[in-house]
Amino acid sequence: MLIFTLRRLNLFFFTMLLLSILSFSLSFLFPGDPLINLTGQINATEQELVVLRESYDTDLNLFQQYIAYIAHIFNGNLGLSMSSQTEISSDILAVLPATIELSLFAFLLATLIGIPLGFIAAINHNKTIDNVILSIAMIGYSVPVFWLGLFAILIFSITLGWLPSSGQISLLYEIEPITGILLFDILLSNSEYKWQAFQNASAHIILPACVIASAPATIFIRLARTAMLSVLNTSYIKATMAKGLSFKQIIIRHALRNALIKVVQHVGLQFANLVTLAMITEVIFNWPGIGRWLIESIYQRDYTAIQGGLLVLSSFIFVVHIITDYIYAALNPRARELRHGS
């Protein structure tokens, strides 16, 4: 396990190094003055600029400038947004929880729907139900997410009027952000309309979460199905059959656990994919998360925000990857011995 951890740390360190170099070089690649791009100080006076140059070591060589930049980042200073002149770090902290909330919800939805369906398909291998599930998975995987989002709004919001089309919660409710995860904040708040707010927020999350979940869920179906089929073909399952256990017992006691282990490894990899989908979906559903914020920043040519946002978002996805690697290693001792990270 120690070797495994060291390997992961090594990977983490070098990936972060590359990411930060990329982010740092962006300020030179964007049009305009690199220092302004890095700090977002568009209204700085001459004296302020002198202080800034000092703190970012702009008169030294590139390597030292990079070190100064890293020092600023470790102090939580990502500069100011060019369009609103607010701290980017606080902006990101305000929008990131909404994305995490939506992604987690979608992720849960995808696993709870996808994996059982995949197992059902495998158990009924080559029967009608297997083919139906596989066809659904194929369709779900092929539909582009932005089209699905708009289509869902058209059907469920506009035509049927069941669910709201945008935002995180109706603006009627005033909820103080404590954790940033809205559903928790509502439960922690002392608003007299607490339960309606909760209901309202739940209604708001359903559509975007379902849209995001559609693609990963179909992948999970196929993963779970393949995993289950390979487990059912192993000799130990054949042995249990020979012992005369009932099919139900075989599945529940022996096959499920072993198939799940195979699935977990790939589930983590899907998370990066899911966050990408979440970004697109946030724009469509006007969800106040980091994806919408980042796309808004790109649209406004807010270079400082783009750099900070990309750095934070990619680090976040990377950290999630490493965590899933760990969970997989904990579940499957044999994985720790493998040479390379997945």
Q: Is the dihedral of CA 96, 99, 103, 105 positive or negative?
A: positive
The residue range among 1-9, 57-65, 193-201, 236-244 that interacts with another protein, by the rule CB under 8 A, is 193-201
For another protein, which residue of 55, 199, 230, 234 counts as binding (CB under 8 A)? Answer: 199
* DSSP3 helix / strand / coil % (the chain, rounded to 5): 75, 0, 25
For another protein, which residue of 13, 14, 147, 195 counts as binding (CB under 8 A)? Answer: 195
Told to check if 171 binds another protein by CB under 8 A, we report yes
For another protein, which residue of 66, 129, 296, 298 counts as binding (CB under 8 A)? Answer: 296
Running DSSP on this structure, what letter comes out for residue 159?
I
For another protein, which residue of 36, 133, 153, 275 counts as binding (CB under 8 A)? Answer: 153
Query: CA-CA distances (angstroms) from residue 162 to 165, 169, 206, 278, 284?
Result: 10, 15, 11, 22, 18
Nearer Cβ to another protein, position 196 or 258? 196
State the alpha helices, DSSP H only, in 189-255.
194-232, 235-243, 247-249
Size of the site for another protein (CB under 8 A): 28
Phi and psi (nearest 5°) for 340?
A: -115, 150
For another protein, which residue of 15, 20, 84, 332 counts as binding (CB under 8 A)? Answer: 84
Told to check if 172 binds another protein by CB under 8 A, we report yes
Told to check if 83 binds another protein by CB under 8 A, we report yes
Q: For residues 228 and 220, what is the distance between their CA atoms, to the nearest angstrom?
A: 12
Query: Contact 228/210 with Cβ under 8 angstroms?
Result: no
Nearer Cβ to another protein, position 73 or 98? 98
What residue type is 78 in one-letter code? Answer: L
Smallest distance, another protein to C-beta of residue 175, A: 11
Told to check if 161 binds another protein by CB under 8 A, we report yes
For another protein, which residue of 64, 135, 166, 246 counts as binding (CB under 8 A)? Answer: 166
The residue range among 188-196, 215-223, 229-237, 316-324 that interacts with another protein, by the rule CB under 8 A, is 188-196
11, 94, 17, 52: which is closest to 311 by C-alpha?
A: 17
Q: For residues 107 and 97, what is the distance between their CA atoms, to the nearest angstrom?
A: 15
3-state class of 238 per DSSP? helix
Q: For residues 175 and 84, what is the distance between their CA atoms, to the nearest angstrom?
A: 23
Smallest distance, another protein to C-beta of residue 43, A: 10
Told to check if 288 binds another protein by CB under 8 A, we report yes
For another protein, which residue of 112, 132, 138, 338 counts as binding (CB under 8 A)? Answer: 112
In total, the chain counts a number of residues equal to 342
Nearer Cβ to another protein, position 147 or 299? 299
Beta strands in 49-158 (DSSP E): none
Nearer Cβ to another protein, position 3 or 171? 171
Dihedral, 17, 18, 23, 29 alpha carbons, nearest 10: 140
Per-residue tokens: 200 = 């309202």
Nearer Cβ to another protein, position 114 or 321? 114
The residue range among 57-65, 123-131, 155-163, 310-318 that interacts with another protein, by the rule CB under 8 A, is 155-163
The residue range among 125-133, 140-148, 167-175, 218-226 that interacts with another protein, by the rule CB under 8 A, is 167-175
3-state class of 287 per DSSP? coil
Residues found near another protein in the complex (CB under 8 A): 83-84, 112, 153, 157-158, 161, 164-167, 170-172, 174, 192-193, 195-196, 198-199, 202, 286, 288, 296, 299-301
